[in-house]
Amino acid sequence: MSSAAITRSPGESEWILPSRGRVGMFSLIAAESAIFTIFVVAYIFYLGKSLSGPMPKDVLETPIFNTVCLLSSSLTIHLAVRALRSARVNAFGLWWFVTMVLGSIFLVGTGREWQHLIFEKGLTISTNLFGTTYYSLVGLHAFHVTVGLMGIVLVMIFALLGKMEPAHSDRVDVFSMYWHFVDAVWVVVFTVVYVIGR
Amino acid sequence: MASETIAITGTAEIGRPISERLHDWIVTVDHKKLGILYIVYALVFLVIGGIEATIMRIQLIVPHNQFVSPQVFNRMMTMHGTTMIFFMVMPILFGFGTYLIPLMIGARDMAFPRLNAFSFWMTAFGGLLLYFSFIGGNGLYGAGNAPDVGWWAYAPLTSRAFSVGHSTDFWTVALLVSGVGSIGTGVNFIATILCMRCPGMTLGKMPLLAWLNLVVGWMVLFCISPLTAAQIMLCIDRYLGGHFFDTQAGGSAVLWMHFFWIFGHPEVYILVVPAFAFVSEIVPVFSRKPIFGYPIMVAATIGIGFISFSVWAHHMFTVGMSSYGNSFFVFTTAAIAVPTGIKIFNWIGTMWGGKIQFRAPMLFCIGFLFQFLIAGLTGIMLGAAPFNWQLSGSYFVVAHFHYVIVGGILFAVFAAFYYWFPKMSGRTYNEVLAKWHFWLFLIGFHMTFDFMHIPGILGMPRRIYTYEPGRGWEIWNLIVTIGVLFQIAAILIFVCNLLWSLFKGDPAGNDPWDAWTLEWSTTSPPPEYDFATLPAVKSRRPLWDIKHPEDPDWKYE
């Protein structure tokens, strides 16, 4: 038995496998979707089952501006990754910064909405079923935005230090998959909470 | 063969102080070390969970026994179930997967080695948290206690009113933490199997163990996540005053049952599919034949993966669902028996006409085949709603799922232990002791779990801490508990064999079984880098091709 038989002979065609970063992130997104699904199911299941007020239609206002900001951040992060891939580092830094600002606006907006609900409308997580499911679902999403923003800030620091190069574009691309996912989840949450749920 | 090694630090290992070697184990990101850590950790919990089971069986040996109080019995029941599922069977299967997958697909490590270490330590800390409840369950004011809400933790048992102190929170957080670890393992399995295969190993040429663990990885993502979500909700209920499962505020106790069993039933398949994987690797080697029906095996596994997510409510027939709901879950439960049956036929087809060698791994696999078949048959019985209404919540159910987990999964795990022990340790185990282990465990298993069906049919409810005399249950409970003694003796022999062989066993050589998958082409134990040169394969049995250059597999596949 020689070692030749089981090792690779030169001249064979190139052996190409999927990128582990993309596969890993895709798997993580699959798991996260399952978590969100359970929270969305709970929200829908408990619609109109609260025994006391306030009800969604009394207190919720549709956060149009927030939604526009978050969804457009998907476009800007895409433009940022494309810029890095074609070695336009400054354009990358600019689009990345815009993404960060848009994500932060969304978080601040959610914070203001909660402040309004808690202190003016008297709705807390323990008030009724609506409060429990609303703060859990929106909070779970906001938590994911926060985690994403932490990543964005980290990359922003590297960009400001001039450490971002085209070689990093694959990794930044994998990260952007997560951000797109967070945006896609918001479409579902928005539809369920502010359109169907009211 | 590609068993050449690169001398890096090999001989320096012996003289190093023990503290340094321990430090190596703690900071390691090597898939082989992490795999062994998982397995050792799981064995410790096997003993702990076994002690808890023994305490329950001693309590039930005669009617009106006073060995433990009802409170202690409930804690033992909860801890036994939780420990065995989350901290014994899952880690041991993940351990074998972590150890074997890179070796079998010709890779040098998992796709994400650090995530791998993170997953293990999350699982480990989850187990520690669960057991910390014994001293911290009441918040350390006085004597603590362990959770006593059952491993399914139905609402409203888990509400603040009925679970005072922190014991239920330890349970919740332990499962949350170890669940995060499991999701990491699922991600890692998928990425490793899809992205790290050696040249030539297309999906259709992967060993079945890799295929089956790929399916397990997917199932972990979609099955553990609902549990994680449900545990977050329970935390919100208990700590922030939420109302998810609070019926007095309009919440639903049945919703918890749905969420729990959406996790709970696929979980059974997460546990059993790796067991299928072991059997699919071991049976061909000891029958001296390639696996029968490879593509059908893969298709059946994927079928199980999908159908297993549509059967959960057969745990809830007695809750009072609509007749449409009942019918749907009866149908899906019957449907999942089809791919499972296909697998059993394929293993028999592999053995058929083979030169069967009755070594310990094969004996355990044959035990697995028969017992898993019976477990599946009682499963179909319980899957029929009218039959289920009669027997749900009885010892018949307990006997059924222990038949699956002990008679099926644990037997396959023992087979895997004996089969891969020479690879992991570099030494052979003692075959005589292994056979004693098999026969004693077989006798003990059948005494305990065959006879456990009967008090169930006679109406003995599960989860009770004692029972009245004169109902015809006494003799059966006595036999069931006596069977435990045989199992304990078998496990002691197993542990002794393991320890003795680890230090005194004969050197095993690279390929003691004359097997065909890549892990046997490297040294035993494998070097840190697994393969000096990455292998390239042309068929499903690369080592057969090398050993039989005149008649290689790739000519026919």
Query: What rounded mean pLDDT belongs to chain A?
Result: 92
Cis peptide before B525 (omega within 30 of 0): yes
Q: Distance of CA B197 to CAs A15, B99, B224, B398, B553, Å?
A: 10, 15, 26, 41, 19
Q: Tokens 């295969």 appear where?
A: B197
Tell me whether residue B5 is in a domain.
Answer: no
Contact yes or no for B249 and A15 at CB 8 A: no
* B226 to chain A: closest CA residue: A35
CA angle B291, B296, B301 (to 5 degrees): 100
For residue range B300-332, what is the model confidence (pLDDT) as tens digits?
999 999 999 999 999 999 998 999 999 999 999
Q: Alpha carbon B380 to chain centroid distance?
A: 21
Contact yes or no for B232 and A128 at CB 8 A: no
Q: Which of residues 195-224 of B touch A (CB under 8 A)?
A: 195-197, 199-200, 217-218, 220-224
Distance from the B270 Cα atom to the nearest Cα atom in chain A, whole angstroms? 15
pLDDT at B138 over 70: yes
CB < 8 Å to B216, chain A: none
CB < 8 Å to A44, chain B: none
| C-alpha to C-alpha distance for A60 and A175, rounded to whole angstroms | 32
For residue range B145-187, what is the model confidence (pLDDT) as tens digits?
889 899 999 989 999 888 888 889 999 999 999 999 999 999 9
Contact yes or no for A31 and B183 at CB 8 A: yes
Contact yes or no for A129 and B4 at CB 8 A: no
Query: What dihedral do alpha carbons B236, B237, B241, B244 form, nearest 10°?
Result: 110
- Domain extent, residue B495, equals 10-555
Contact yes or no for A140 and B536 at CB 8 A: no
Q: Alpha carbon A52 to chain centroid distance?
A: 33
CB < 8 Å to A128, chain B: 243, 249-250
Contact yes or no for B221 and A6 at CB 8 A: no
CB < 8 Å to A1, chain B: 1, 546-547
Tell me whether residue B3 is in a domain.
Answer: no
Q: Alpha carbon B368 to chain centroid distance?
A: 13
ipTM > 0.85 (yes/no) = yes
Q: Tokens 């830094």 appear where?
A: A93
pLDDT of the residue at B366? 97
CB < 8 Å to A142, chain B: none
Q: At B351, is the pLDDT very low, low, confident or very high (cuts 50, 70, 90)?
A: very high
| C-alpha to C-alpha distance for B332 and B135, rounded to whole angstroms | 43
Q: At B11, is the pLDDT very low, low, confident or very high (cuts 50, 70, 90)?
A: very low
The CATH number covering residue B511 comes to: 1.20.210.10
Contact yes or no for B250 and A128 at CB 8 A: yes
Q: How many Cβ pairs within 8 Å bridge chains A and B?
A: 146
Tell me whether residue B278 is in a domain.
Answer: yes
CB B353 within 8 A of CB B301: no
Our count of domains for chain B comes to: 1
Residue A62: count of CB within 10 angstroms of its CB: 12
Tell me whether residue B268 is in a domain.
Answer: yes
Q: Tell me if chain B has a CB within 8 Å of the CB of A128.
A: yes
Contact yes or no for A51 and B537 at CB 8 A: no
CB < 8 Å to A17, chain B: 194-197
Averaged pLDDT, A85-96: 95
CB < 8 Å to B1, chain A: 1-3, 5-6
Q: B269-281: b or e for each residue (b if 16 or more CB lie within 10 Å)?
A: bbbbbbbbbbbbb
CB < 8 Å to A15, chain B: 199-200
For residue range B16-51, what is the model confidence (pLDDT) as tens digits?
888 888 999 999 999 999 999 999 999 999 999 999
| C-alpha to C-alpha distance for B91 and B116, rounded to whole angstroms | 12
Beta strand residue intervals within B199-358, DSSP E: none
Kindly give, in sequence order, each residue whose CB lies less than 8 Å from that of residue A45, ignoring residues fewer than 6 positions away.
B252, B255
CB < 8 Å to B549, chain A: 5
Q: CATH assignment of A20-196?
A: 1.20.120.80
Contact yes or no for A28 and B222 at CB 8 A: no
pLDDT of the residue at A6? 52
Cis peptide before A54 (omega within 30 of 0): yes
Contact yes or no for A49 and B200 at CB 8 A: no
pLDDT of the residue at A83? 96
Q: Tell me if chain A has a CB within 8 Å of the CB of B14.
A: no
The tokens for B477 are 């409970």
Contact yes or no for B1 and A15 at CB 8 A: no
Q: Tell me if chain A has a CB within 8 Å of the CB of B254.
A: no
Averaged pLDDT, B512-520: 95
pLDDT at B556 over 90: no
The tokens for B208 are 């079945």
Q: At B5, is the pLDDT very low, low, confident or very high (cuts 50, 70, 90)?
A: low
pLDDT of the residue at B145? 85
Q: At A5, is the pLDDT very low, low, confident or very high (cuts 50, 70, 90)?
A: very low
The structural domains of chain A, with segments of one domain joined by +, span: 20-196
Q: Is the dihedral of CA B226, B228, B232, B235 positive or negative?
A: positive
| C-alpha to C-alpha distance for B549 and B538, rounded to whole angstroms | 12
| C-alpha to C-alpha distance for B30 and B27, rounded to whole angstroms | 9
Distance from the A12 Cα atom to the nearest Cα atom in chain B, whole angstroms? 9
Phi (first) and psi of residue B353, to 5 degrees: 75, 5
Tell me whether residue B410 is in a domain.
Answer: yes
| C-alpha to C-alpha distance for B556 and B106, rounded to whole angstroms | 22
| C-alpha to C-alpha distance for B136 and A142, rounded to whole angstroms | 32
CB B81 within 8 A of CB B48: no
Q: Distance of CA B346 to CAs B68, B250, B290, B398, Å?
A: 46, 50, 11, 28
Query: What rounded mean pLDDT belongs to chain B?
Result: 93
For residue range B255-299, what is the model confidence (pLDDT) as tens digits?
999 999 999 999 999 999 999 999 999 999 999 999 999 999 999
